[in-house]
Amino acid sequence: MNQTGEKAADFTLYDSAKNTVSLHDFTGKKVVLLFYPLAFTSVCTKELCYVRDNMSLFNNIDAQVLGISVDSLYTLAKFKEEQGYNFPLLSDFNKEVSKSYNALYEEFGFNMKGVSKRASFVIDREGTIRYAQILEKASDFPDFEAIQSTLAAIN
Given the candidates 3.40.50.1820, 3.90.550.10, 2.40.37.10, 3.40.30.10, the CATH classification of the domain at 27-153 is: 3.40.30.10
Q: Enter the pTM of the model.
A: 0.95
- Give the per-residue pLDDT at 49: 97
Can you list the residues of the chain whose pLDDT is less than 70?
1
Indicate the domain borders of the chain. Answer: 27-153
- Catalytic residue, chosen from 44, 104, 122, 132, is 44
Sequence-distant (6+) residues with CB within 8 A of 2 are 8, 9, 100, 101, 102, 121, 129, 132
Distance CA 83, CA 127 (A): 30
In this structure, what DSSP letter does residue 8 have?
A: P
- Give the per-residue pLDDT at 2: 72
- Give the per-residue pLDDT at 1: 63
Q: Catalytic site residue 49? A: no
